[in-house]
């Protein structure tokens, strides 16, 4: 199964207040995000695409500590807070790959993965789906209205602090409840 998540911001205490996350402190947040991830991602063969801002200004060792606790094959789309990648002590092989942008096909639909919301993406006029993060839980109605049904914010602050499956994504973008 394929899963998606963005903006976990492990080790970032200030994001708790900024995004009104329901955690006591950064340790509680880190532990709960790990628990939520591993509750959803059960198989080591599951693929999880992290759409940026995995660790907020953390060290390579901190990033490794978290990654080693998380199930699944992990793929990273770089966000604007991936400084740990430059840490010479970080083992980048904990990710299957690291990219700025990625697209693939699933169920005859193209998926475009990028950390930032894009106004028009590759395949936009052919029903392609864009998954993004970066904006957390700010201006969600604005982004939904401007980007339409085929764009979905997969930031933890709007997906119940756990990865979302590709089937859940398909159900949402095909739902009449999702604004266009």
Q: What's the rounded mean pLDDT across residues 71-99?
A: 96
**179 domain-assigned:** no
Quote the domain boundaries for residue 157.
2-173
* Domain containing residue 111: CATH number: 3.60.21.10
**127 domain-assigned:** yes
Q: Could you give the 3-state DSSP secondary structure of residue 112? A: strand
Q: What is the pLDDT of residues 11-43, one digit of tens each?
A: 999 999 999 999 999 999 999 999 999 999 999
**178 domain-assigned:** no
How far are the Cα atoms of 12, 23, 53, 161 from residue 19, in angstroms, in the given order?
A: 11, 11, 14, 12
**180 domain-assigned:** no
**159 domain-assigned:** yes
**93 domain-assigned:** yes
Number of compact structural domains in the chain: 1
- Rounded Cα–Cα distance for residues 40 and 147 (Å): 28
CB 119 within 8 A of CB 136: no
- Rounded Cα–Cα distance for residues 33 and 135 (Å): 18
What is 121-143 written as a DSSP string? -TTGGGT-EEEE-SSTTSSHHHH
Q: What is the pLDDT of residues 141-162, one digit of tens each?
A: 888 888 988 999 999 999 999 9
Q: What is the pLDDT of residues 109-151, one digit of tens each?
A: 999 999 999 999 999 999 999 999 998 888 878 888 889 889 9
């Amino acid at each position: 199964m394929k899963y998606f998540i963005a903006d976990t911001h492990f080790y970032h205490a200030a994001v708790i207040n900024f995004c009104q996350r329901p955690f006591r402190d950064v340790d509680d947040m880190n532990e709960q995000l790990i628990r939520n991830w591993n509750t959803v991602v059960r198989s080591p063969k599951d693929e999880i695409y992290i759409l940026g801002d995995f660790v907020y200004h953390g060290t390579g060792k901190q990033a490794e500590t978290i990654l080693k606790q998380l199930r699944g094959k992990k793929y990273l789309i770089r966000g604007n807070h991936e400084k740990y990648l430059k840490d010479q002590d970080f083992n980048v092989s904990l990710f299957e790959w690291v990219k700025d942008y990625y697209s693939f096909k699933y169920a005859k639909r193209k998926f475009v993965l990028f950390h930032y919301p894009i106004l028009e993406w590759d395949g936009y006029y052919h029903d392609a789906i864009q998954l993004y993060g970066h904006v957390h839980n700010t201006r969600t109605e604005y982004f939904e209205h401007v980007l339409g049904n085929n764009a979905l914010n997969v930031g933890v602050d709007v997906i119940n602090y756990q990865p979302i499956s590709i089937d859940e994504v398909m159900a949402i973008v095909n739902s009449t409840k999702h604004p266009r």
